[in-house]
Amino acid sequence: MMTQEALGTYLNDHLAGSITAVEVLERAIESSEGSPLQSFLSELLEAIEDDQDLLRHLLKRIGVAESPLKKAGAWLAEKAGRPKLRDSGNPAAIGRLEMLEMLATGIYGKLALWRSLEVAASRHPELGDLDFEGLQRRAKEQHDSVEIHRLAAAREAL
Check residue 89 and report its DSSP letter: T
Reported as a single tens digit per residue, the pLDDT across 85-113 is: 554 444 478 889 999 999 999 999 999 99
Residue 17 in contact with residue 74, Cβ under 8 Å? yes
Check residue 1 and report its DSSP letter: -
How many Cα atoms occupy the beta-carbon half-sphere of 70 within 13 Å?
15
Reported as a single tens digit per residue, the pLDDT across 45-64 is: 999 999 999 999 999 999 99
Q: How many Å apart are CA 48 and CA 70, to the nearest integer?
A: 18
List CB contacts of 59: < 8 A, sequence separation 6 or more. 8, 11, 12, 15, 65, 66
CATH no., domain 4-157: 1.20.1260.10
- Rounded to two decimals, what is the model's pTM? 0.85
